[in-house]
Amino acid sequence: MAFSSSEVTIEKTGAIATLWLDRAAKSNAISDEIWRAIPAALHELAGDGEVRAIVLAGRGENFCVGLDMEAFGDRSRIRLDKLMNQRD
């Protein structure tokens, strides 16, 4: 596999691929790297004819606490503002 990320890892066991959020120290909060790595990993796994199921899991005690506001900085506020305005 060509996919590479320090915060998202792929493990395959037979026809099952597990996509691990690997940022346990931050409760697997979504960083910019995770934000970009998940679609890239899914794209790669979609091209793997042996994979029949994909499990999304988080290392550590928490699956995922949501968006890492510190990692996204001002960009997180812009995205949240857009989401809030779309609800109206």
Token digits for 28? 């697997």
Write the DSSP string, 51-81: --EEEEEESSS-S---B-HHHHTHHHHHHHH
Kindly list the domain boundaries of the chain, sorted by start residue.
8-87
Q: Which residues of 43-62 are buried (b: 16+ CB within 10 A; e: fewer)?
A: eebeeeeebeebeeebbeee
Instruction: Domain 8-87: give its CATH superfamily.
Output: 2-enoyl-CoA Hydratase; Chain A, domain 1 (3.90.226.10)
Please tell me the pTM assigned to this model: 0.77
Q: Average pLDDT, whole number, for the chain?
A: 86
Handedness of CA 87, 32, 69, 67 (dihedral sign): positive
Residues 24-37 pLDDT 10s: 999 999 998 998 89
Write down the number of H helices and E strands in the chain. 3, 3
Give pLDDT, residue 32: 86
